Amino acid sequence: MPNQDLPLIAELCTAVGAAHVLRDGDLVAYERDWRKRWHGRALAVVRPGSTAEVAAVMRLCARHGVAVVPQGGNTSLVGGSVPDDSGTQVLLNLGRLHRVRSIDAANLTMTVEAGCVLQAAQAAAEAAGLLLPLSLAAEGSCTIGGNLSTNAGGTQVLRYGNARELCLGLEVVTPSGDIWEGLSGLRKDNTGYDLRHLYIGSEGTLGVITAAVMRLYPQPAASMTALAACASVEQCVALLQLAQARAAASLTGFEVMSDCALSLVRKHFPQIPQPLPPAAWTVLLEVSDAESADHARTVFEGLLEAALEAGAITDAAVASSVAQSRSMWHLRESISMAQAEEGLNIKHDIALPVSRIPAFVASTDAALEQAFPGARLVNFGHLGDGNLHYNVQVPVGGSPAEFLARHEHAVNTLVYDAVQAHGGSISAEHGIGALKRDELAQRKSPVALTLMRSIKQALDPGQRMNPGRMLDTASITATDP
């Protein structure tokens, strides 16, 4: 409907300035996600410069009945932040709302705009001598608004919680263009329904987050990591319990890596040191200590000694320097790249009660091996949060493209059936987006889906916010190659 659009475009230009309403030229950075798996075409890419401008854009889109796709750093892993290919949706990019509005050291909070890149927010907190403990692989590109709209997880959830737990207040623009000013920064506030938690994790389907108050923490005096070798998942869980009892809240990381995962790193990145000999499972532990590096080392040594005595681990190595700690994290973070080097694979971002993980892994590994002989389980993740990246790599020598074409759906069904049987989640930290929308409709309880649809209908009656994401209220046409 290009002709009918013209009034809206002209009005958008008036609202935010013509330079910030993009229709021509190379818009691929906006219309295609970073992994190049999802792409669409926008009616226009609109880049407002203030909350008031966001509200003006939303009012205009409401008046014209035009759908809006909010976008932060465009690093969604589930096709949540690009338009469909109809050419009728306004892509609302928050990139110009990137200020850290304020830091309140005595309240341990920062107020930051949605388009602020996570790393920039971390840096601002650090410059004030404080810690913003949200940390994840995409932190150099992803934004606070995207982190909150997807309730991002990452590597320190064990201690500090998900993005949700780190947020004390929001500023949100509603589909009709009203501004809810909820930037309270309060740790206690029982005055009605918790709108904040409703918008967090709603993936842009209820409104647009424009700013947030984030919780900060004192910087720890020292952080230290260790690696431990375990013979089984049961041992990993036993080690976790010991570590939680002995290190309590100073335990800030507990990541597991299967030997298959580390063998891919050895193959593709042989230069990365692997301090321990291969074991069925290698655990990366991190302790962040309020006292000193010496105290952190004492805690680690006591813990690992107790774990050896209890038979929870077979070997361990404590980092002897900050550089060694970084190198251990580098090992963990290289698994995804090593997988990519090895070729196409099938990713699962699942969560389970920690107590169910040993049984889940044993039975699901076996079922996959039986159904797809030779398929490799590249299993790693945030065991402390019950979150596994339970990925399936094509059998050695097989054609990845062919395997995926033939088996991806069946592999997903097998894995998600098992997740469901063990009381787990098919999306631990990546969200639903377009990728898992139909899976969600199949697997979430009908009562929960009905409640969610009622809420969507109540807060976005025109069904114009990020249509086709999360809930099946519209069909998304962007293609997943």
If binding is defined by CB under 8 A, does position 429 make contact with its own copies?
yes
In 3D, which of 139, 140, 161 has the Cα closest to residue 151? 161
For strands 251-258 and 179-182, give the pairing.
Answer: unpaired
If binding is defined by CB under 8 A, does position 189 make contact with its own copies?
yes
If binding is defined by CB under 8 A, does position 306 make contact with its own copies?
no
Percent of residues in the chain assigned helix, strand, coil, to nearest 5: 40, 20, 40
Question: Which of 32, 37, 41, 197 forms a contact with its own copies (CB under 8 A)?
Answer: 197
DSSP 143-155: BHHHHHHTT---T
> By CB under 8 A, which span of 20-28, 66-74, 329-337, 348-356 interacts with its own copies?
348-356
Tokens of 197: 């938690």
Could you say which residues in the range 18-77 bind its own copies, by CB under 8 A?
A: none
If binding is defined by CB under 8 A, does position 250 make contact with its own copies?
yes
How far is Cα 256 from Cα 323, in angstroms, rounded to an integer? 20
Angle, CA of 191, 157 and 76, to the nearest 5°: 90
Cβ distance to its own copies smaller for residue 17 or 129:
129
If binding is defined by CB under 8 A, does position 438 make contact with its own copies?
no
Question: By CB under 8 A, how many residues form the interface with its own copies?
Answer: 92
Query: What one-letter code names the amino acid at 130?
Result: L
Q: Yes or no: say if 337 and 269 are a contact pair by the CB < 8 Å rule.
A: yes
Tokens of 478: 């962007």
If binding is defined by CB under 8 A, does position 423 make contact with its own copies?
yes
If binding is defined by CB under 8 A, does position 457 make contact with its own copies?
yes
If binding is defined by CB under 8 A, does position 451 make contact with its own copies?
yes
Cβ distance to its own copies smaller for residue 228 or 264:
228
Tokens of 159: 């201690």
Shortest distance, position 230 Cβ to its own copies, whole Å = 15
What track of x and - describes contact with its own copies for positions 108 through 147 (by CB under 8 A)? Answer: xx--------------------------------------
> By CB under 8 A, which span of 10-18, 190-198, 270-278, 395-403 interacts with its own copies?
190-198
If binding is defined by CB under 8 A, does position 391 make contact with its own copies?
no
Could you say which residues in the range 230-249 bind its own copies, by CB under 8 A?
A: 237, 241, 244-249
The count of residues in the chain is: 481
Tokens of 137: 């692989």
Shortest distance, position 384 Cβ to its own copies, whole Å = 8
How far is Cα 298 from Cα 438, in angstroms, rounded to an integer? 50
If binding is defined by CB under 8 A, does position 413 make contact with its own copies?
no
DSSP 342-358: H--EE--EEE--GGGHH
Could you say which residues in the range 254-283 bind its own copies, by CB under 8 A?
A: none
Question: Which of 28, 106, 323, 396 forms a contact with its own copies (CB under 8 A)?
Answer: 106
Could you say which residues in the range 140-179 bind its own copies, by CB under 8 A?
A: 150-151, 153, 157, 159, 161-162, 164-165, 174, 178-179
Radius of gyration of the chain (CA): 23
Question: Which of 72, 95, 133, 220 forms a contact with its own copies (CB under 8 A)?
Answer: 220
The alpha carbon torsion through 67, 71, 75, 80 (nearest 10 deg) reads -20
Place of tokens 């020292």: 222
If binding is defined by CB under 8 A, does position 340 make contact with its own copies?
no
Residues 6+ apart with CB under 8 A from 258: 280, 281, 377, 378, 379, 380
Shortest distance, position 52 Cβ to its own copies, whole Å = 14
Shortest distance, position 178 Cβ to its own copies, whole Å = 5
Residues 6+ apart with CB under 8 A from 316: 226, 227, 228, 229, 276, 304, 307, 308
Cβ distance to its own copies smaller for residue 44 or 470:
470
Shortest distance, position 113 Cβ to its own copies, whole Å = 18
Cβ distance to its own copies smaller for residue 57 or 173:
173
How far is Cα 386 from Cα 388, in angstroms, rounded to an integer? 7
Question: Which of 13, 136, 198, 344 forms a contact with its own copies (CB under 8 A)?
Answer: 198
